[in-house]
Structure 1
Amino acid sequence: MCLKGDKRQHVRLQMTHGLMADLRIIAIRNEPVKTKPCRVLIKDLSPNGLSFLTILDFPVNSRYMLQLELDIPHLKLELSGQVRWRMREDNLYCYGMMMTKTPSSRCSLLYALNHLLLQQSPTQSKIHKLYRTMSAFH
């Protein structure tokens, strides 16, 4: 199972319908690089981080930066961050990534999370209201 027992500031939205993303390395030791994208499966997503599955074996350190490109209906997101943890899950690796964001990318991400919540659980109005409230403050 793809879980990490740390305290989180935000609740992560579990992806129930298999959200795919293109992953690439964008910097090593603060030097920009361009790598070919690799498809990964997003497991969960929050305003501060996410977890994903891939066949790639990344180290857990802050010497490189990853970028994930997600296509959510009506919105394309580019999220950057660093790997904070890694776990084996069968023949794959599950990673936890903490994102680095600008205020505008945070706003876009909160909009996307609210949209995904509406799609996945239309009857959970309290959760939708919470994310709308968070979006208004950022």
Structure 2
Amino acid sequence: MNPMEVMEAEHPYSRRRHVRLRLPADQRAEIRIIAIGQVDLTSPPGFVRLLNVSEGGCCCGSDLRFPVHPRVLMEMRWTFEDRTIALAGKIVWREQEEGGYRYGVQFVMTPLQRSNLIGHLNAVLLSLCPGQSRIHALYRQMTSVPYQMKNEEAPS
């Protein structure tokens, strides 16, 4: 199996909207709470295993138990090949697993941050799968469509 796998999006049997990139098992991210509702704060950082990432969010695992609440805003920061990405997001689901928890994080970002993330994900894909031009072309095609918010995603 390749060190990274492109997971399907928009497949008839998939509920995922974006292409997800499975990352190497040792990829870690720093995570902290940065706001609860309208109150900004900075909690001490914890660390999570970054399992997969897409332009819309990520899946991570940790032995830490984080809250799943729409008013809690987290910041995730990770470095891959000397490039650091820091994005805000909300934990939208949590599942208990052996040795801890698995989380789904939905990113909350500006169009510029989204564009930077897509560039980062393209660089990750090129680095981890240099000989797979078909996958690179597919990912570029799927991420080149201009982002359009659906009515239910519009900020309130």
TM class, shorter-length: 0.7 to 0.9
Alignment-derived partner of residue 37 in structure 1: 45
Aligned with 1:98 (options 103, 106, 116): 106
CA contact 2:19–2:139 (8 Å) conserved in 1: no
Structure 2: runs of 5 or more not aligned: 1-12, 148-156
* 15-24 or 5-14, which deviates more: 5-14
Amino acid at match of 1:35: S
Q: TM-score, normalised by structure 2?
A: 0.78
Identity of aligned residues (%): 34
Aligned with 2:138 (options 120, 130, 133): 130
User: Which has more strand, going by share of residues?
Assistant: 1
CA contact 1:24–1:36 (8 Å) conserved in 2: yes
The structure having more radius of gyration, on CA atoms, is 2
**Within 5 A, what are the aligned runs for 1:55-94?**
55-94=63-102
Number of equivalenced pairs: 134
Amino acid at match of 1:94: R
C-alpha root-mean-square deviation of aligned residues, in Å? 1.9
Alignment-derived partner of residue 60 in structure 2: 52
How far off its partner does 1:122 sit? 1.8
Structure 1: runs of 5 or more not aligned: none
Q: TM-score, normalised by structure 1?
A: 0.87
